[in-house]
A = this chain, B = another copy of it.
Amino acid sequence: MTVTLKDVALRAGVSRSAVSRTFTEGASVSAKTRAKVEKAAIELKYSPNALASSLTTGRTKLIGLVSNNFHNPLFLEVFDLFTRGLQERGLRPLLVNLSAETDPANSVRMLRQYSVDGVIVASSTLPPSFAEAFRDVGIPVVHSFGRYTSSPHVHVVGIDNIACGRMAAAALVARGHKRVAFLGGPKGATSTEDRARGFLDALSAHPDIAVSVSYASAYSFDAGRAEMIRLLQDTPAEAYFGGDDVLSIGALSAIHDAGLRVPDDIGFIGLNDMAMARWQNINLTTIRQPIAEIIASSIDLVVGTIADPDRHPETRLFPCSIVERGTLRPLP
């Protein structure tokens, strides 16, 4: 059924090595044999078996793409960019959906069985130890959207969440709000922890401003809405920094339903700038995370690490910026 090297070799009247060589970049083949082989290959519709060759070359061109964010619309953009970026370099994404799993053991085993050349962990909630589990078994790995550490054990590409927290605080302070709050994502998420830290840190310099913090159970519309509904039962703050965009959108829906107006009664700033944030019916003021750059850089890094496995772990943080839209009142 399947056409192999041998079939092509037979038909072309050459050795199997000759066939292999015509399909190997930079191998030594005369124009004459190459022609014969290519002719035979086309006639037989031959296409080389990438997995068989991986056995000797040690390269599968398979990249494990591991994520646990299959409910945040931002991640559709992330998967789009990752898959396209990988494909452009001739790499194939093997997708792993972690769901609620946080133990790397299964993913590591599975991706090792498939001899992936490298792994990209795309998650803003998993701890650094997750990606480290891949490094521990010698698989090049980069953690995208991961947490910064001063002495990283694996490559991390993302944003400075602490700085983002500060940036959000500054934006609210600049607008003269006296009661502000952080409505974070799930409490254990590294990104939420860091954003909270930066936010509180920046506000500690403003003793006249009242600050509060609470957490939604997930980076999701429903969780953001539920938490905001809870907050509205008491006296809410004047302005909120939402843990991310989708959660903020959920919170805003609760605010509208309560008959309050945005940004007059309550201001909101999100984080991510996902495509939906600029939809005219959402129009969310937010902190833009440059995901295209993060992803391109992650791919670069994993490719580089495949080429040089001893490469020193690196942290690449990209600057974020505020995108002014309609959920935060203008600067005075």
**Residues of B with C-beta under 8 A to A254:** 280
Residues of A253-278 at the interface with B, using a CB-CB cut-off of 8 Å, are 253-254, 256-257, 275-276
A75–B256 alpha-carbon span in the complex (Å): 28
CA distance A95 to B82 in the complex (A): 10
Decide: B280 and A50 in contact? CB cutoff 8 A: no
**How far apart sit A96 and B256, CA to CA, in the bound complex (Å)?**
40
Count of residues in A whose CB is under 8 Å from the partner chain: 54
Copies, count = 2
Chain B proximity of A14: nearest CB distance (Å): 21
In the complex, the answer to whether B279 meets A249 with C-beta atoms within 8 Å is yes
On chain B, the residues within 8 Å of A312 by CB distance are none
Q: Is A71 touching B65 in the complex (CB atoms < 8 A)?
A: no
Indicate if A79 sits at the interface (CB-CB under 8 A). yes
Could you give, for residues 116-152 of chain A, a 1 whenever the CB lies within 8 Å of some chain B CB and a 0 otherwise?
0000000000000000000001100000000000000
Q: Within 8 Å CB of A311, what residues of B?
A: none
Q: Are A52 and B55 in contact (CB under 8 A)?
A: yes
Residues of B within 8 A of A110 (CB): 92
Interface bits A147-159 vs B (CB < 8 Å: 1, else 0): 0000000000000
- Which residues from B are CB-within-8-Å of A138? 1
Q: Does A250 reach chain B (CB closer than 8 Å)? A: yes
CA distance A48 to B113 in the complex (A): 6
Query: What residues on B are CB-neighbors of A109 within 8 Å?
Result: 47
- Whether B51 contacts A115 by the Cβ 8 Å rule is yes
In the bound assembly, the distance between CA atoms of A169 and B275 in angstroms comes to 31
Contact of A212 with B by CB under 8 A: no
Say if the beta carbon of A87 comes within 8 Å of chain B: yes
Determine whether the beta carbon of B97 is less than 8 Å from that of A84. yes
Q: Nearest residue in B to A67 (C-beta to C-beta)?
A: B83
Q: Say yes or no: is A60 at the interface (Cβ < 8 Å to chain B).
A: yes
Chain B nearest Cβ from A326, distance in angstroms: 12
A306 sits at the interface (CB 8 A): no
A331→B252 CA distance, assembly (Å): 30
Asked whether A15 is an interface residue with its Cβ less than 8 Å from the other chain, the reply is no
Judge whether B225 and A252 touch: CB under 8 Å. no
Q: Is the CB of B47 within 8 A of A113?
A: yes
Q: A51-B60, A70-B80 are in contact. List 8 more A-B contacts (CB 8 A).
A: A1-B138, A47-B113, A50-B114, A51-B54, A51-B114, A72-B76, A225-B280, A281-B281
The 8 A-B residue pairs whose C-beta atoms are closest, nearest first, are: A70-B80, A83-B97, A253-B281, A50-B113, A76-B76, A51-B51, A253-B280, A93-B95
19 contacts between A and B (CB under 8 A): A47-B109, A47-B113, A50-B115, A51-B60, A55-B55, A62-B94, A65-B95, A73-B73, A79-B79, A87-B96, A92-B94, A92-B114, A93-B94, A94-B94, A95-B95, A250-B279, A252-B281, A257-B280, A281-B281
